[in-house]
Amino acid sequence: MRKQKLGNSDLEITKIGFGAWAIGGPGYEFGWGKQVDNDSIKAIHKALEMGVNWIDTAAVYGLGHSESVVAEALKQWNGEKPFIFTKCSLIWDEKRNVIKSHDPVSLKRECENSLKRLNVDTIDLYQVHWPPEKDNSQIDDAWKALTELKEEGKVRWIGVSNFNVEQMERTQKISPVTSLQPPYSLLRRKIEHEVLPFCKQNNIGVIVYSPMASGMLTGAMTKERAENLPGDDWRKGSKEFVEPRLSKNLLLVEKLKHVGKKYDSAPGEVAIAWTLKNSAVTGAIVGARNAKQVEGVFRASELELKDEDVKEIENMLK
C-alpha cells in the first residue's frame, strides 16, 4: 500500500488505516449493534495481511471493549506490529452514560487505562477525541496534559479530532499538533473550505473518518436495511439514513457503482478514493466488521480516480 508521512511525525502510514469504532459492539449510545469479537479479530488480521500499518481506536468505543479487542488481535498476530492510534476526552459513568472531560487528571488516567487495555508501553498517536462544547479555554490544560504524556514517553505523538481552525490554533501555541481526525466524505465536505487548507499550510496530518459515510456509501445499504437497523445501532434515525436524504444518498451510490465499473471497484472503494484525492488528506480510516468487508474496500488505497470521474461524481451532489 502507498504510504505518506503523518504531519510532523516520523510515522509513515498507509493511505488506509483500520477503524475500530464498530467493533466496540453495543451497549452504549454510540454503538453499532451486536458484534462478534472473533469476526473483529479476523477483520483486523485481514487488513494487516493486505498491508495496512495502523489501527485507529478510542477508549469510548464499546466503553473500552474496542481497545481490548485490538489488543487480542495483535496478541494473535505474528507479523509486523502496526501503529496504534487511540483517543481520550470521552469518559463514562457506572450507568454507561458518556460525557466529555478535558480535566488533565482525567486525561492522564484515561491514558494509563488505554495503555493497559491495549497492552502496549507507548501509544503511537494519542488524540483529543472532541473539543469542549463551549469553553475553548479548557483546551489549554488538556493539550498541556497530552504534551506532558509525550514528554514522559507514554505517547509518541499527539493530535486532535473534530477540532476547528480556531481550536487548532490554540493548541499550536502550546505545542505542535501532529494530526487532525475530522469527518470527511462525499456527504460531509465542510472541512474543505478552511480546515484542510489550514492543516496543509501548518504540516498537520489529516486522517479522515467515515469516508463511506458510516456505511451509507458502501453499496450494501438499501432502504429496507436502513429502515430495519437495530435499535442499538446509532445510525438508526440518523438524518443520512432516513428520508428525504436516504433516497438521494442511494442515488449517489448508483453513480459510484457506475464509476466503479471503470476501475473494477465497489462503490465504497470509490468513495474512499475520492477522499484520498484531496492532497491535504494523509489517510482514511476505514471500518470493517469482518474479513469479507475488508476485502471489499481496503483496495481503495491503490485506487486513483481520474479527474473526469471525480467531476461526474460531484455533479451528482449539486
- The β-bridge partners of 54 are 83
Range 80-85 average pLDDT: 98
Q: Residue 233 half-sphere exposure, CB side, CA atoms within 13 Å?
A: 19
| pLDDT, mean of residues 88-109 | 96
126 is catalytic: no
| Inter-residue contact 90 to 98 (CB < 8 Å) | yes
Which of 61, 126, 184, 263 is flagged as catalytic? 61
First CA to last CA distance, the chain = 33
Q: Which residue has the higher pLDDT, 233 or 122?
A: 122
What CA–CA distances, in Å, run from 119 to 67, 69, 314? Answer: 9, 11, 43
Q: For residue 317, what pLDDT is reported? A: 79
Q: Taken in order 36, 38, 41, 42, is the CA torsion positive or negative? A: negative
Q: Does CATH number 3.20.20.100 belong to domain 13-315?
A: yes
Burial per residue of 262-271, b for 16 or more beta-carbon CB atoms within 10 angstroms, e otherwise: ebebbbbbbb
pTM for the structure as a whole: 0.94
Say if CB 217 and CB 186 are below 8 A apart: yes
Average pLDDT score over residue span 186-215? 96
DSSP string, 95-134: T--EEE---HHHHHHHHHHHHHHHT-S-EEEEEE-S--SS
Which pLDDT score, from 0 to 100, does residue 261 have? Answer: 95
6 has pLDDT over 80:
yes
The string of pLDDT tens digits covering residues 247-277 is 999 999 899 999 999 999 999 999 999 999 9
Ranges 22-36, 37-51, 65-79: which has the least confidence: 22-36
CB-based contact 241:306 (threshold 8 Å): no
Report the alpha-carbon distance of residue 40 to residue 165 in Å, rounded. Answer: 35
Which pLDDT value is given to residue 131?
96
- pLDDT at 318 exceeding the cut of 80: no
**Residue 265 dihedral angles phi and psi, to the nearest 5°:** -130, 150
Query: Bridge partners of 100?
Result: 90
Q: What percent of the chain lies above the pLDDT cut of 70?
A: 100
pLDDT of residue 238: 87
pLDDT exceeds 90 at position 219: no
Contact 199, 8 (CB under 8 A): no
Give tens-digit pLDDT for 143-161.
999 999 999 999 999 999 9
